[in-house]
Amino acid sequence: MRRIFVAIVVLLVAVASVTLVACGPDDEAVEPVPETDPLPAPVVEQDVDDPDLSPIEEAVYEPFPVDPEVGVPDAIQSRLDAGQPMIILFIDETQKTTDDQQKTIDDVTDKYQGLIDLVTFDVSRFVTHDADGRITVQSEINADETGRQVARMIDEDNLDIRFTPFTLIVDDQGYVTWRYRGISDGKTLEREVLRVTE
- Cβ contact 197:178 at 8 Å: no
Q: How many domains does the chain have?
A: 1
Domain limits for position 100? 62-197
* H-assigned helices in 118-160: 145-154
The enclosing domain of 123 has a CATH number of: 3.40.30.10
Fill in the DSSP letter of residue 56.
B
Q: Give a yes or no: residue 31 inside a domain.
A: no
Does pLDDT of 140 surpass 80? yes
The Cα–Cα gap between 172 and 86 comes to 8
Does pLDDT of 84 surpass 90? yes
C-alpha 14, offset from chain centre: 71
| pLDDT tens-digit map of 53-82 | 445 555 789 999 999 999 999 999 999 999
| pLDDT tens-digit map of 152-169 | 999 999 999 999 999 999
Q: Give a yes or no: residue 141 inside a domain.
A: yes
Q: Mean pLDDT in the chain? A: 83
| pLDDT tens-digit map of 12-52 | 555 555 454 445 555 555 566 566 656 565 555 555 444 44
Q: Give a yes or no: residue 5 inside a domain.
A: no
Q: Give a yes or no: residue 19 inside a domain.
A: no
